[in-house]
Amino acid sequence: MTQINAVVPFKTKGAKKRLAPFLSPEERKEFSTAMLRDVLSSLKDTNVTILATEEFTLDDSEMILKVRDQDLNEALNEFITDLHEPTLIVMSDIPLMRRWHVRWLLSEGITLVPGRGGGTNAIYMHDPSTFKVDFYEVSFLKHVKIAKERGLPVKILDSFYMSTDIDKPEDLAEVLIHCHGESCRYLKSLGVRLSYGKSRIGVERD
């Protein structure tokens, strides 16, 4: 497989606010880091740069840490503007991602990974300099449009695991059901478990 770059944006301060009050601020930070680790372990075959909002340590010397002070889109677009090597942008809150997804993402143009609710959970760019990202709101449709305007072929990666970004307490159920890696272990260590509501599953803890 060609060596590819991966960029993972990571927010430390005030991350995952919608998991409050189910998880405390300290637990949200721990859980965010556990999700990041799961994503990074699926990116073992790539050159990873973490684009963080502030300095932080992760006991893995292989990663490049870049601190950004701009908006996510600005920071990512600055990162890719002169880049011609195959590059992957991956959100840090999709802990169900696996190593084999990386191979599946490769294409000759742009690969978009839809998240639930119109988001984009990952983007593969064969030549990043030809693309421009525009996250937030219905970014999936915006990214399809940008690629088409630039004449780039678009592949849509149809993955449930990669579509599952963890924002709200009910999303934690997916982590427990499809248990895998550090995120699931961490939730279990807190005593978080599935709860059976009237029509849809949720989570509860002691």
Q: How far is the CB of 141 from a second copy (least distance, A)?
A: 6
Q: What's CA 27's distance to the chain center, in Å?
A: 19
Instruction: Determine, following the binding rule CB under 8 A, whether residue 140 of this chain makes contact with a second copy.
Output: yes
Taking CB under 8 A as the criterion, the residue among 21, 103, 151, 196 binding a second copy is 196
Instruction: Determine, following the binding rule CB under 8 A, whether residue 169 of this chain makes contact with a second copy.
Output: no
Give ∠ CA 114-119-120 in degrees, rounded to 5.
55
Q: Are 136 and 127 in contact (CB under 8 A)?
A: no
How far is 45 from 99, CA to CA, in rounded Å? 8
Instruction: Determine, following the binding rule CB under 8 A, whether residue 162 of this chain makes contact with a second copy.
Output: yes
Taking CB under 8 A as the criterion, the residue among 49, 53, 106, 161 binding a second copy is 161
- Residue whose CB is less far from a second copy, 80 or 97: 97
Q: How far is the CB of 71 from a second copy (least distance, A)?
A: 17
Q: 48 φ, ψ to 5°?
A: -95, 135
Instruction: Determine, following the binding rule CB under 8 A, whether residue 116 of this chain makes contact with a second copy.
Output: yes
What tokens appear for 144 in the block?
């399809």
Q: How far is the CB of 57 from a second copy (least distance, A)?
A: 30
How far is 61 from 68, CA to CA, in rounded Å? 19
Q: How far is the CB of 6 from a second copy (least distance, A)?
A: 20
The amino acid at residue 173 is A
With 0-12 / 13-18 / 19 or more C-beta atoms within 10 angstroms meaning exposed / middle / buried, residue 174 is: buried
DSSP for residue 190? T
Taking CB under 8 A as the criterion, the residue among 55, 57, 62, 200 binding a second copy is 200
The residues of the shown chain that bind a second copy, judged by CB under 8 A, are 18, 114, 116-118, 137-138, 140-141, 158-163, 167, 170, 173-174, 177-178, 194, 196, 199-201
